[in-house]
Amino acid sequence: MRKWTAYLIAFAILVGMPFLGLYYVHKGVRYRKDLFAQMKDYGAVAPFGLGDSTSAGRVVVVFFRQGAPVTDSIIASVHRQFDGRQDVLFFTDVPADVAMDSLQIAPLPPDRAAMLRAKVPGKDLHAAAALIDPDGHLRRFYDLTREDEVHLLVRQTGLFLAPRKRALSPQSPSQ
For 117-160, the pLDDT digits (tens) are 887 766 777 788 889 998 889 898 888 888 999 999 999 998 88
**Whole-number mean pLDDT of the chain?**
79
Q: Which 3 state secondary structure label does DSSP give 157?
A: helix
Q: Where are the domains of the chain?
A: 1-37, 49-159
Task: Choose between 86 and 122: higher pLDDT.
Answer: 86
Can you give the pLDDT at residue 152? Answer: 93
pTM: 0.75
| Range 15-40 average pLDDT | 87
pLDDT band at residue 20, thresholds of 50, 70 and 90?
confident
Can you give the pLDDT at residue 170? Answer: 57
Q: Residue 164 pLDDT > 80, yes or no?
A: no
| Range 89-96 average pLDDT | 76
CATH number given to 49-159: 3.40.30.10
